[in-house]
């Protein structure tokens, strides 16, 4: 069966942003210019260091009357410090938590579904509308909640978007907001209000900005979502379609890379037909399962001629790819079971040679300056202890999938 193609639309302006050092100033600038609405979704919201700049921009927007709505994941963000909770509440920043966690909740496989997408929209439907999508949390590049201060910045990307898909991103975020609001009303025994929210009309926005003919950017792009309803496989299929159509080159940078059978076979088939396949993967230990569970699948990839580069200067958090110099994706989705089977994710697919060239150049630079290319012979002779850890991590992951009833 042919895999669905993302619906690409022209007329976009898309800028590549690397790390919070570029992403935060762009978001803060957009929020400071907002006149109507600011919407933000993120897995982690941490006010340490530069993360406070985004928090302050939210406060400024809310204080001047801009509708300001934030959704964070209950596991990724946890409890916001009391000082910030009070400041947000006083300013009118509306704060919602997706799937709050507790020890008992984590024992239920249905509660393992997380909000992992990183989206922001400012003034959708009005002049100056802009959106952001990528893998960057509201988390300072030089700070990690588990490891503290980092010696080098986290390696990650996002995009700044103007054009038609801004409205698509906004609608997507408003739908989730309404559902969370309905749940909130039900918990407060406001049944009538919850029903009205769920049955409300399509999210409203301001009048569409006028576009002068011939003056709009020409980049083609699409928003590709992953959820647990109608969009369960769209991000994976976008990757599979691009890999299957590759003729010359595939470059993938992915933080938590544990590809399922279809993705592994697609990469092997591409390498065997002469496509140069380069993977830039996590080389610095972060989480046990994600770090070790990937390695048992390296053998078949290396055997097919796939190049694997491990990035070690800092944590690699990117979820991006470029194919044949014209196709690219930037987003929140890892190529692992959590992202592809359980989490809400959002990627932007771009068809544009200039954008793809910029991302490709940065990935090649990261490989050359910070990557260690894996030698097949060294991999084959790795120590027994390392193999044991790899297969233990893979076993844990497979048991978790078995509990959820998912196949991967």
3: in domain: no
pLDDT at 401: 83
CATH of the domain at 300: 3.30.870.10
Structure tokens at 56: 């302050």
Query: Which segments of the chain have a pLDDT < 50?
Result: 1, 194, 197, 201, 203-216
333: in domain: yes
pLDDT at 273: 97
pLDDT at 176: 95
Task: Domain count for the chain, please give it.
Answer: 2
Q: Record the pTM.
A: 0.91
pLDDT at 5: 74
Dist CA 134 CA 20 (whole Å): 11
Bridge partners, residue 92, by sequence? none
- Domain residues for 316? 223-404
82: in domain: yes
Q: Are residues 194 and 229 in the same domain?
A: no
Name the residues annotated as catalytic: 116, 118, 123, 317, 319, 324
Q: Are residues 261 and 182 in the same domain?
A: no
pLDDT at 206: 45
Q: 271-305: per-residue pLDDT in tens?
A: 999 999 999 999 999 999 889 999 999 999 999 99
Dist CA 257 CA 108 (whole Å): 25
Rounded to 5°, angle at Cα 77 from 155 and 184? 140
Note whether 217 and 160 are within 8 A (CB): no
pLDDT at 196: 54
Among 182, 198, 214, residue at a domain's last position: 198
pLDDT at 200: 57
131: in domain: yes
Please choose, from the candidates 261, 223, 262, 225, the residue with its C-alpha nearest in 3D space to the C-alpha of residue 244. 262
pLDDT at 218: 78
Please choose, from the candidates 94, 45, 98, 34, the residue with its C-alpha nearest in 3D space to the C-alpha of residue 70. 94
């Amino acid at each position: 069966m042919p895999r669905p193609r993302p619906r690409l639309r022209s007329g976009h302006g898309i800028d590549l942003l690397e790390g919070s050092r570029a992403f935060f100033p762009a978001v803060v600038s957009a929020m400071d210019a907002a006149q109507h609405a600011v919407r933000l979704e993120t897995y982690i919201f941490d006010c340490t260091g530069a993360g406070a700049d985004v928090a302050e921009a939210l406060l400024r927007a809310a204080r001047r009357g801009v509708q300001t709505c934030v959704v964070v994941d209950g596991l990724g963000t946890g409890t916001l410090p009391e000082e910030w909770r009070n400041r947000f509440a006083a300013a009118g920043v509306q704060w919602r938590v997706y799937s709050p966690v507790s020890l008992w909740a984590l024992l239920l496989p249905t509660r393992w579904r997380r909000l992992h997408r990183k989206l922001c929209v400012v003034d959708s439907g009005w002049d100056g509308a802009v959106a952001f999508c990528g893998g960057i949390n509201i988390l300072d590049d030089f700070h990690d909640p588990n490891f503290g201060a980092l010696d080098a910045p986290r390696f990650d990307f996002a995009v700044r978007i103007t054009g038609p898909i801004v409205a698509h991103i906004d609608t997507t975020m408003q739908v989730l907001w309404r559902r969370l609001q309905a749940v909130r009303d039900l918990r407060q025994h406001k049944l009538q209000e919850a029903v009205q929210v769920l049955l409300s009309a399509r999210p409203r926005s301001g009048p569409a900005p006028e576009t002068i003919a011939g003056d709009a950017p020409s980049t083609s792009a699409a928003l590709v979502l992953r959820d647990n309803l109608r969009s369960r496989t769209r991000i994976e299929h976008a990757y599979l379609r691009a890999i299957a159509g590759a003729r010359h080159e595939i470059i993938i940078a992915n933080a938590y890379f544990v590809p399922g059978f279809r993705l592994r076979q697609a990469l092997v088939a591409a390498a065997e037909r002469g496509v140069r396949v380069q993977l830039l993967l996590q080389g610095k230990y972060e989480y046990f399962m994600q770090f070790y569970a990937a390695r048992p699948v390296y053998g078949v990839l290396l055997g097919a001629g796939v190049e694997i580069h491990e990035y070690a200067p800092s944590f690699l958090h990117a979820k991006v790819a470029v194919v044949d110099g014209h196709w690219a994706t930037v987003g929140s989705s890892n190529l692992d079971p959590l992202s592809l089977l359980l989490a809400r994710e959002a990627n932007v697919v771009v068809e544009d040679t200039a954008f793809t060239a910029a991302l490709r150049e940065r990935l090649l630079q990261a490989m050359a300056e910070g990557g260690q290319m894996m030698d097949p012979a060294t991999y084959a002779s790795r120590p027994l202890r390392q193999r044991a850890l790899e297969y233990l991590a893979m076993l844990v992951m497979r048991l978790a999938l078995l509990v959820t009833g998912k196949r991967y």
